[in-house]
Structures are given as C-alpha cells and as structure tokens.
Amino acid sequence: MSPQDLLLGAVSIPSVSGSESEVAQFLVKAMRELGFSSAELDASGNAVGSRGKGLMQVVLLGHIDTVPGDIAVKLEDGKLYGRGSVDAKGSFCTFVAAVSRLSSAALERATFTCIGAVEEEIPSSKGANFAVLRYRPDFVLIGEPSGWDAITLGYKGRLVVKVAVEKDNFHSAGEGRSSGDLLVDFVSQARVCAERWNATQSEKGIFFQVQLTVQNLETQSDGLTQRAQATLGLRLPPALGPLEAELFLREVGAGLEGLSLEFVGQEVPYRGEKDNTLTRALRLAIRAQGGNPRFKLKTGTSDMNVVAKHWTVPMVAYGPGDSSLDHTPFEHLELAEFEQAVAVLTEALERLVGR
C-alpha cells in the first residue's frame, strides 16, 4: 500500500468523533500490510501499531476523528479534498508511512508506536487519556498540521465557563437590574480583568495573551423568575493555567446577585523547548528536503495538552497541511506536501535514534 493509497483510504471513511471504528479498523489492517509487527484496536478504540524492538520508545500520537461536515472526497489538481485530510488524518498517515520506511538499524535501536486516537475533537479526548496510562515514551510526536517545513512547539490552554444569573422577575418599568444586565456586567468585568492581565505580560503576541470569547448568550423568563445564561471560552497562555483562571473568574463574580459558575473543558497550556534532540532531528531533516525550518505556537488545543502533563519528555506536533483549513468546507491537502512530510519524518526518526 502506497502512502497516497493509505491517505485516500483513511479520508474516504467518515469518522466523526464517537464513530471512528471503521477507519480505525482500516488503519489497523493497513499497518499490518505495511510491516508493523503488531497492530490492533485498543480498549478505547484507538488504532495502534508498533515497529521495532529497541529500548528507546518513540510514540507518534495522532487523532483519526473529525468534526462534522460532509466534504466530497476527490483528487483534483494534486490536492485531496475531504474532511480530515488536514485535521488530522493526513498527519497520522504521515506517521504510519514514515515508520513503515524505517531502516532495520533504526528498528533495532527503538520501538515506534503509532496511535490513531479517538475523540480528540470533543472534550473527552478519550484516546489520548487512555494512551497516557499505557506508554512511557522517551520522545513524542503529536499529529497536527504544521506544514511540512514547520514544527509546532506548543498550544494554548483552555477553560470553558457556563455562567448563569437567576433572580425574581420585576416590571421592566420599575427600578432594578435584569438578570441579563447582571450577566453582561460579569462578562464586561471579566474582559476588563483579562485585558489588565495581558498588559502585565512581558512576552508579546497572541500566544501569550488571554483570549475571552462569548460562545452563546440567552435570557428567559417564566413570569416569576428571570434567568440569563452564557458560555464563555478562554484560551490560556503558558503563564495562566485553568485553575488560576477559575480563581480569577470567581473573584470577578464575587458579590454579583444570583450568579453561578460551572467550569468545564480545562486544558493545561504547553510550550516545549526549541532546542533538544527531537527538534534538532526534525530541523536537519527539513533542511535535507530543501526547507527552511520554522517554529510555531498555536492558539488552539490538541492532544498535546492532554498528554504533556503525563509525558514530560521532548514533544512536538508535526504534520502536513495548512491548519487554517481545519473545520472549514474547503479542507484539502496537497499530495506533494504529504510526500514531503513523509520524507522529512522518515529522515528525522532515523536521525533521532542515531542511525
């Protein structure tokens, strides 16, 4: 099976979060055909394959689920269109193809485990949470689109807060403030405090700033009680974890009548080092393919946020594709870039284990 056949086959199988079993079975079969010494579905539904017998452990974790949205799968002008082509089946297929090409010398020195994780696109992160308990890697690659010549060092953290304000109803012509007024006050105060916090940071750029957005907002009344509800999403920089952000929001809401806060979706921010054995191997491999290596820091989240607090080893995210196409109706991956990424990663893994 060629790398392009692997990619086309994976993208052609729908796999919205929670419905990944068919694509996982396809990938297990493909890994067996490509010479992996073991390939199976684990208890969480991940597609897992291993090659090599060395003591060094290299884990390549990419997700195989997608967000909803049917995009007709087609090859056109050297591009593969389809949901998941960029985010992130393209990256996981890069992992599988690269590991399938490794030399016998590399396989003597290390064991390479490719994990096609389920439910990354929803808060459960089921596949990654299962994997962190089973493996103790020396190096980790996360499958996310960086572009073939770029290396992602980190992702911002996340916190979601569900805000509710409830109070007795009153006539709108009378004195008093509605539940909606009070909710808007809370959001405004939270935004002002976030901006003040941002102003204190010496490092500039959006990766180092708190981003606060209102994801939904509604009010209702049954004639007796008013209720206003909102969901706020916070993207958190390395200097502010979700627990600290929770305290900050509780302080903002202290004393507001009828306010309740529920916190979900906590993800710890992560930023890795620029210069270590793993990044050096990737930089040299990118240059060997004619590229000029670049580093990226991303404002979203990935399974890197889930595993970083457990796997405190050199870790980066890598994969072909333009991440601005993630979740869009135009998602597509250039096949030439996919092949370049496979070549880069093969070279990098050989260098990493000391060919």
In single-letter form, the type of residue at position 2 comes to S
121 with 67: CB under 8 angstroms? Answer: yes
Report d(CA 274, CA 262) in Å as an integer.
36
From 20, 87, 120, 267, active-site residue: 120
Indicate the burial class of 31 (C-beta count within 10 angstroms; 0-12, 13-18, 19 or more).
buried
Angle between helices 335-352 and 277-288 (to 10 degrees): 130
In single-letter form, the type of residue at position 276 comes to N
Residue 236 β-bridge partners:
157
Cα of 354 vs its chain's centroid, Å: 29
Report d(CA 115, CA 311) in Å as an integer.
15
> And the tokens for 176?
């008093």
Residue 158 β-bridge partners:
235, 267
**10 Å Cβ neighbour count for 245?**
23
Report d(CA 75, CA 65) in Å as an integer.
21
Output 28-37 pairs: Cβ under 8 A, ≥24 positions apart: 30/1, 30/6, 30/96, 31/96, 31/100, 31/114, 33/1, 34/1, 34/6, 34/96, 34/97, 34/100, 35/100, 36/99, 36/100, 36/114
Q: Does residue 65 have an active-site annotation?
A: yes
350 with 328: CB under 8 angstroms? Answer: no
Q: List Cβ neighbours of 124 (8 Å cut-off, separation of 6 or more).
A: none
Report d(CA 106, CA 344) in Å as an integer.
15
Q: Does residue 262 have an active-site annotation?
A: no
Angle between helices 21-33 and 89-100 (to 10 degrees): 20
From 20, 65, 303, 334, active-site residue: 65
In the block, tokens 């509780």 appear at: 250
Looking at the chain, how many residues does it have? 355
Catalytic residue list:
65, 120
